[in-house]
């Protein structure tokens, strides 16, 4: 048995696959936020001369992949699997980026938890000896997400205070059994948690219990406390979801405190008019590959738990009166 412990939800990776090459791209709005200095690339505009935002999102993901490979002079021939997902119907950004890459492709869907899900699966393939290098990529785009899940931005529909702003950007990372970079030491794949929240304009509240469940399981499985980590970074709970998560932890008599931060809260300034903060597949990807990786490289962070959070609704389930099933997948990164 390679690295798991049966009876727990958490996989241990003794071979410690590493994040060896990566690239994070964001749009102009994210480039004016407080995390700007950490991203590899800030785009001057979010359309890149494409005729539709869907084509722009695909191009941004392809750019992230190409530059991640270039960072360590890798080519697609070095990669055994490409794992990718995004928010669009039938994950078209992931698939179309896979077309240009031409390596075996494993499409995934975990909404905004897709990045963590992909890194976890990549670590499984590497730890199990099925690959030496796996590429993980994900993207999201404000315009594509708005018109698919809500309204075309041209309508200028007013957002609620709990609404979140989809991050325009993409992240790609090569994870390898050899090389230098943050080590993936554990993965805790989450269960679906649905506490009955039905408001698609408050996905933070819907997702917070899933984040709490996965973090709790991870700590229980590993015998760690929240203080073991320098940072526990949820993907995109936003202000509302992060508040809910802290309340859940306090009620459980295990207050999380300031060690738990959220990518959706960190990525924008409040004066940018983003409601409760950022969201989208790219959110946790660019914060992890930009901010967390840089801080690990600088020796300012050593142990980080990435908790990708996903609200697994679609626009039709909301209209049919269903509540929002949510999930969180956790990945432990250590130097």
Q: List contacts with its own copies (CB under 8 A).
A: 1-4, 6, 9, 11, 51-52, 54-55, 80-81, 85, 87-92, 95-96, 98-99, 101-111, 117, 121, 124-125, 127-132, 189-192, 194, 312-317, 320, 322, 325, 327
| Least distance from its own copies to the Cβ atom of residue 197, Å | 13
| Least distance from its own copies to the Cβ atom of residue 206, Å | 12
Cα separation of 57 and 94, whole Å? Answer: 10
Nearer to its own copies, 77 or 258 (CB): 77
Burial pattern 283-298, b for ≥16 Cβ within 10 A else e, equals bbbbbbbbbbbbbbee
Structure token digits, residue 73: 């002079």
Nearer to its own copies, 100 or 225 (CB): 100
Cα separation of 115 and 96, whole Å? Answer: 17
| Least distance from its own copies to the Cβ atom of residue 166, Å | 14
Nearer to its own copies, 42 or 305 (CB): 305
CB–CB of 197/311 below 8 Å? no
| Least distance from its own copies to the Cβ atom of residue 333, Å | 19
Cα separation of 65 and 68, whole Å? Answer: 5
| Least distance from its own copies to the Cβ atom of residue 20, Å | 17
Using only the alpha carbons of the chain, give its radius of gyration: 18
Question: Is residue 165 within a helix (H) or strand (E), and if so which, with residue range?
Answer: strand 165-166
Question: Is residue 188 within a helix (H) or strand (E), and if so which, with residue range?
Answer: strand 183-188
CB–CB of 267/283 below 8 Å? yes
Nearer to its own copies, 26 or 187 (CB): 187
Closest of 249, 14, 272, 285 to residue 129, by C-alpha: 14
| Least distance from its own copies to the Cβ atom of residue 272, Å | 27
């Amino acid at each position: 048995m390679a690295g798991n412990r049966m009876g727990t939800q958490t996989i241990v990776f003794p071979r410690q696959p590493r994040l060896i090459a990566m690239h994070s791209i964001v749009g102009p709005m994210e480039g004016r936020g407080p995390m700007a200095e950490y991203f590899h690339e800030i785009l001057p505009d979010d359309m890149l001369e494409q005729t539709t935002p869907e084509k722009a999102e695909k191009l941004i993901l392809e750019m992230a992949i190409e530059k991640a490979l270039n960072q360590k002079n890798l080519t697609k021939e070095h990669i055994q699997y490409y794992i990718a997902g995004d928010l669009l119907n039938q994950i078209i950004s992931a698939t179309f980026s896979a077309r240009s890459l031409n390596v075996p492709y494993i499409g995934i869907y975990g909404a905004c938890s897709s990045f963590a899900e992909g890194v976890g699966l990549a670590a499984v393939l590497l730890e199990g000896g099925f690959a030496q290098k796996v590429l993980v990529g994900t993207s999201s785009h404000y315009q594509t997400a708005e018109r698919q899940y809500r309204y075309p931005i041209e309508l200028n529909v007013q957002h609620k205070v709990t609404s979140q702003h989809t991050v325009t950007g993409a992240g790609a990372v090569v994870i390898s059994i050899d090389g230098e970079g943050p080590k993936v030491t554990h993965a805790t794949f989450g269960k679906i948690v649905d506490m009955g929240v039905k408001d698609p304009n408050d996905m933070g509240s819907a997702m917070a219990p899933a984040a709490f469940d996965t973090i709790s399981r991870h700590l229980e499985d590993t015998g760690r406390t929240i203080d073991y980590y320098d940072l526990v970074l949820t993907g995109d709970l936003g202000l509302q979801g992060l508040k809910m998560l802290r309340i859940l932890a306090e009620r459980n008599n295990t207050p999380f405190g300031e060690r738990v931060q959220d990518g959706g809260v960190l990525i924008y300034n409040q004066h940018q008019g983003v409601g409760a903060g950022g969201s989208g597949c790219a959110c946790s990807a660019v914060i992890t590959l930009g901010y967390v990786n840089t801080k690990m490289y600088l020796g300012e962070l050593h142990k980080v738990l990435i908790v990708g959070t996903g609200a697994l609704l679609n626009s039709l389930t909301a209209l049919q009166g269903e509540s929002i099933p949510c999930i969180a997948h956790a990945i432990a990164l250590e130097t």
